[in-house]
Structure 1
Amino acid sequence: MDRAALERHIRDTPVEGSPAEMRAAFLRLAQAGDAPALPQVARVGGCDGRWFGRGGRPVVWLHGGGYVFGGSDTHAAPARVLAGLTGRAIFVPDYPLAPERPWPAQRDAVRGVLDALDRPDVVGDSAGGHLGLVLGLSHPHLMRRLAVLSPNTDRSGQSTTRTRNSATDLMNDDAQDRRLSDMALGHLRDDDPEASPLLGELGTLPPLFMAATTIEVLLDDTLLFATRAGREGVPLTLRVLPDLFHMWHLWPDATPEGRGILRDVAAHLA
């Protein structure tokens, strides 16, 4: 599948409706064709998930999907590629999903995974990036390095790209992002650091890699966070890629930039 075909697939597969309908649509969207063979479900630290690859210090990938959809099945492609690039085993937890299990169920489930794996490296995308940052801020001793791709970091209104880029981001818009956030985090104030990690004390974070794209809704979430983290002395690498939609890395075989950013993540974790 080339970039044009992928963009048609995204437009033809809207993720909308009830939570169950969104989960089914996002799985169709992520797999973009025949369903791949998946590893058996495993249990780590009380949380189910799947391992991709083997060997080396483990890496935990916290999947995106607004805390409402997504899982080890939707993120199999990038997890497999990252396992190949690093020569390490990647565990993708199937943490609890909202609205059935609102926050902090996700945080608590993944903390159990990190406890069980003895300071793994952590990767997170979108909501999974938010989850990685929250855990990195509250429990930095549980992870060695952290890489986040287009994380949600701010609900306090500082971002301008949440509205400005809603028309250009094929995979996300501000209204949908808020709807998903409200299902999981709606009981938190927007200025609570667990909802907006941008407002937390960032200086204790482990070495951090961040990436986003120029036309996605969450661009400012990354830029604002990177600016504050850098000022507070966090060892930081930032990549901003042009003209790509949110979660572009889900299709590393269709977007050279997707495979490229996974190489950058692998280099950060080395």
Structure 2
Amino acid sequence: MSTRVDGVIERVRKVYGSWTRDTTVAQMRQDWDTLFGSVPVNASLEDVDAGGVRAQWVSAPNVDTARVLLYFHGGGFQVGSLVSHRELMACLSAAANCRVLGVDYRLAPEHRYPAALDDAAAAWQWLIDQGHASRHIALAGDSAGGGLALSLLLRLRDAGKALPAAAVLMSAWTDLTASGASYGTRADSDPIHQRPMIVAMARNYLGKGGDAADPLVSPLFADLKGLPPLLAQVGDRETVLDDSRDFVARAREAGVDATLQVWDHMIHVFQQFPAELPEARTAIDDIGRFLRRHFAAT
């Protein structure tokens, strides 16, 4: 296992290590797409305009087209795209037997909060306007995208709208204040993400006047009552480990059906490496079973 994980870490570090203060955001985005987006996928791809937001249908062969997973990619709200997350979306489509609609929401620093959340809400409403029942839709996201999925749930709930059947969170960024104890306890074991980096990304996303403790920015601090069933997966080596552990604990206290899976030895969004990591494939299979169960219950 150590050799496999070390190989993945080395791939990611080559990208991070090439960045300097002079590296442009455009170059970072291109590098991220190159790192993750070069693998052919066994899925059909269809670009769509989802209520004014660029999006893409990703459909594994013979899936149930009546079921939809609305997906928000990670990348600290600054990098990541439909290209970088295409393989993961295709794997999720196959595992959950549903179509995946990946959302190319606007990124910082060009578009700061609440642009990403507005785009997420627009894509959701587009699905509803297309005739998809909320009970046949689930949400998913990784890292910043996991936090965005939760923010969308909170916005929908507070507006009195019908909620999706379930939501899946992978290494979700739920606390942009970076207050979790794991920023200290996992600092030596996390090979990539350290607290100063996380704080800087939050500042870049929010701008000078942004409030990192706003519940729609950091869902950890929200009233979580009434949310649909949740599955949270996170690696034991992550500094953002407590973003998931603390969030699930608070969700359960609020009466939410929330399941936490902590994966030993795994790093941030390890599910993006299904070719290298058997654990990634197993985690994706678990997500598929979770989603199929809750789609069937609706």
Using the size of structure 1 for normalisation, the TM-score is: 0.92
SS in 2 for 1:136: helix
Give the Cα–Cα distance (whole angstroms) in 1 for the partners of residues 192 and 102 of structure 2. Answer: 21
Q: Which moved more, 1:205-214 or 1:3-12?
A: 3-12
Give the Cα–Cα distance (whole angstroms) in 2 for the partners of residues 121 and 45 of structure 1. Answer: 18
Please say if residues 114 and 142 of structure 1, whose CA atoms lie closer than 8 Å, have aligned partners that are also in contact.
no
SS in 2 for 1:27: helix
Which residue in 2 is equivalent to 1:18? 24
Give the Cα–Cα distance (whole angstroms) in 1 for the partners of residues 206 and 284 of structure 2. Answer: 29
> Could you tell me the percent identity over the aligned residues?
27
Please say if residues 46 and 112 of structure 1, whose CA atoms lie closer than 8 Å, have aligned partners that are also in contact.
yes
Which residue in 1 is equivalent to 2:85? 75
* 1:44-93 per-position Cα deviation (integer Å, ceiling 9, x unaligned): 22211221115231111110000101011000111111111122110111
Using the size of structure 2 for normalisation, the TM-score is: 0.84
SS in 2 for 1:203: coil
Q: Say whether residues 1:36 and 2:44 are aligned partners.
A: no
SS in 2 for 1:110: helix
Q: Say whether residues 1:264 and 2:272 are aligned partners.
A: no
SS in 2 for 1:139: helix
Where in structure 2 are there 5+ consecutive unaligned residues? 129-133, 293-298
Computed over aligned residues only, the root mean square deviation of the Cα atoms, in angstroms, reads 2.0
- What amino acid is aligned across from residue 173 of structure 1 in structure 2? Q
- What amino acid is aligned across from residue 83 of structure 1 in structure 2? S
Please say if residues 115 and 142 of structure 1, whose CA atoms lie closer than 8 Å, have aligned partners that are also in contact.
no
Give the Cα–Cα distance (whole angstroms) in 2 for the partners of residues 197 and 88 of structure 1. Answer: 27
Q: Which moved more, 1:104-113 or 1:184-193?
A: 184-193
Q: Which moved more, 1:174-183 or 1:236-245?
A: 174-183
SS in 2 for 1:58: strand
Which residue in 2 is equivalent to 1:218? 240
Q: Say whether residues 1:51 and 2:72 are aligned partners.
A: no
Give the Cα–Cα distance (whole angstroms) in 2 for the partners of residues 73 and 40 of structure 1. Answer: 13
Please say if residues 170 and 246 of structure 1, whose CA atoms lie closer than 8 Å, have aligned partners that are also in contact.
no
- What amino acid is aligned across from residue 93 of structure 1 in structure 2? V
Which residue in 1 is equivalent to 2:156? 139
Give the Cα–Cα distance (whole angstroms) in 1 for the partners of residues 97 and 33 of structure 2. Answer: 26
Which residue in 2 is equivalent to 1:182? 203
Alpha carbons of structure 1 residues 223 and 59: separation in structure 2 relative to 1, 3 Å: same
Alignment of 1:1-270 (within 5 A): 2-14=4-16, 16=19, 17-31=23-37, 34=38, 36=40, 39-53=45-59, 54=63, 55-118=65-128, 119=134, 120-140=137-157, 141-156=162-177, 158-186=179-207, 187-270=209-292
Please say if residues 164 and 217 of structure 1, whose CA atoms lie closer than 8 Å, have aligned partners that are also in contact.
yes
- What amino acid is aligned across from residue 158 of structure 1 in structure 2? S
